[in-house]
Structure 1
Amino acid sequence: MGFVGLMSDAAARTKGLRWLSAISAGVLMCKIVYDFTDVISSSFIKAYRKLNRKEKLEWNNRGFSTFHAIVAATGSLYLLFLSDLFSQADDELIINRTSPLSDTLLGVSIGYFLSDLAMIFYHYPALGGVEYVIHHVLSLCAIIQSLISGQAQFYILLVLFTESTTPLVNLRWYLDISGRKSSKTYIYNGVALFFGWLAARIILFVFFFYHMFVYFDQVKLVYPLGFYSLLVVPPAMAAMNVFWFWKIARGMVKTLSKARHSM
Structure 2
Amino acid sequence: MFICRERGKRMRGLEMGAGFFTVATSTKQLGWLSSVLAGILMCKVVYDLTGVISASLVKEYRRLNRKQKLEWDNRGFSTFHAIVASACALYLLLVSDLFYDSREQLVINRSSSFSNTTLGVSIGYFLSDLAMILYQYPALGGVEYLIHHGLSLFAITQSLFSGQAQIYILMVLFTESTTPFVNLRWYLDVAGLKNSKLYIYNGVTLFLGWLVARIFLFVFYFYHMYVHFDQVKLVYPLGFYSLLTVPPVLATMNLFWFWKIARGMVRTLSKARHSQ
TM range (shorter): over 0.9
**Alpha-carbon RMSD:** 0.5
Aligned partner of residue 2 in structure 1, secondary structure: helix
| Corresponding residue to 2:260 among 223, 247, 254 | 247
Deviation, 1:89, is 1.4
Equivalent residue for 2:112, pick from 78, 96, 99: 99
Match of 2:9 in 1: none
> What corresponds to 2:151 in structure 1?
138
After superposition, where does 1:57-72 map in structure 2 within 5 Å? 57-72=70-85
For 2:208, the equivalent position in structure 1 comes to 195
The Cα of 1:2 is off from its aligned counterpart by: 1.4
Tell me what 1:238 maps to: 251
Shift in Å at residue 74 of structure 1? 0.3
State the distance in 2 between where 1:88 and 1:153 align: 15
Aligned to 1:178: 191
Equivalent residue number for residue 215 of structure 1: 228
For 1:136, the aligned partner's letter is: H
Is 1:7 aligned to 2:20, yes or no? yes
- Give SS of 2:17's match: helix
Please, what TM-score do these two structures have when normalized by structure 2?
A: 0.95
Q: 1:226 aligns with which of 235, 239, 243?
A: 239
Displacement after TM superposition at 1:31 (Å)? 0.2
- Aligned counterparts of 1:70 and 1:14: Cα–Cα separation in 2: 28
Which segment is superposed worse, 1-10 or 62-71?
1-10
- Residue 142 (structure 2) aligned to one of 124, 129, 146: 129
Letter in 2 for 1:223: Y
Distance 1:53 1:15 in 2: 41
Aligned residues: 263
| Superposed counterparts of 1:41-56, under 5 Å | 41-56=54-69
Deviations 1:191-227 (A, max 9, x none): 0000000000000000000000000000000000000
CA distance in 2, matches of 1:243, 1:190: 16
Distance 1:160 1:83 in 2: 16
Q: Deviations over 1:216-262 (max 9, x none)?
A: 00000000000000000000000000000000000000000000000
CA shift, 1:7, in A, is 1.3
Partner residue, 1:112: 125
CA distance in 2, matches of 1:92, 1:20: 26
The list of structure 1 runs, each at least 4 consecutive aligned residues, that deviate by more than 3 angstroms after superposition, is none
What are the Cα deviations for residues 63-95 of structure 1, in whole angstroms up to 9, with x where unaligned?
A: 000000001000000000000100111100000
Q: Distance in 2 between matches of 1:84 and 1:67?
A: 26
Return the match for 1:39 from 48, 52, 62.
52
Give the TM-score, by structure 1 length: 0.99
The letter of the residue matching 2:33 is L
Q: Which runs of 5+ in 1 are unaligned?
A: none
